[in-house]
Structures are given as structure tokens and as C-alpha cells.
Amino acid sequence: MVEGEVISMHYDPMISKLITNGKTREEALSRMGEALDTYVIRGPENNVTFCRDVLLKKPFYEGWYHTGILEDEYGGVFNPTELEPEQK
């Protein structure tokens, strides 16, 4: 992949996979939050900020989530906090 290139929606856009575990759901989610807080992906746009925010949502935290979480929790639009240049 080179700068300016786009990963087409017709191909698997996954550029990375994050998996955590724990003795409890809370422990696994805590580990996932820590991992997302330190995740670094340079270059292509990604959804790390969105994934981190979803972890904070009560339905997801409690295990009551579904594919409509974007509409239910964000009104269909997620507006991430802009990162500082050194965070990108």
C-alpha cells in the first residue's frame, strides 16, 4: 500500500485485528481499552477511535449490542475527537 491508495470496499478492509481475553468480560474489555489506547496505525484512515468509544457505551459493555449500535448510540454518525499530530 502506498500513500493516497484506497482499500476498496469490495475487498476485506481489515488492516489489523485486535483480540483480547480475560477471566471476565470486564477484564477482557479493560485489556481491549488499554490496547486501543496504545494502538498505532500510520497511513490509512482507521476506526480505532470509534472502537475505543464503543467500549464506553453501556449496551456494548454489558453485552447488549447489535449491528445497529451506530444508529442507536450515535444517531448514525460518529464524530471522533480530533487527535493531536503526535497522536496520529
In a domain, residue 17? The reply is no
pLDDT digits (tens, 9 = 90+) for 32-87: 999 999 988 877 778 888 888 888 888 888 888 888 878 888 887 887 766 566 65
61: domain range? 25-87
Helices (H), the chain: 25-38, 48-55, 58-61, 69-74
Residue 12, in any domain of the structure: no
- Does the predicted model carry a pTM greater than 0.75? no
Give me 9's grid cell: 470496499
Classify residue 68: in a domain, yes or no.
yes
Q: How many domains does the chain have?
A: 1
Residue 4 lies in a domain: no
Euclidean distance between CA atoms 78 and 70, whole angstroms: 7
In a domain, 37, yes or no: yes
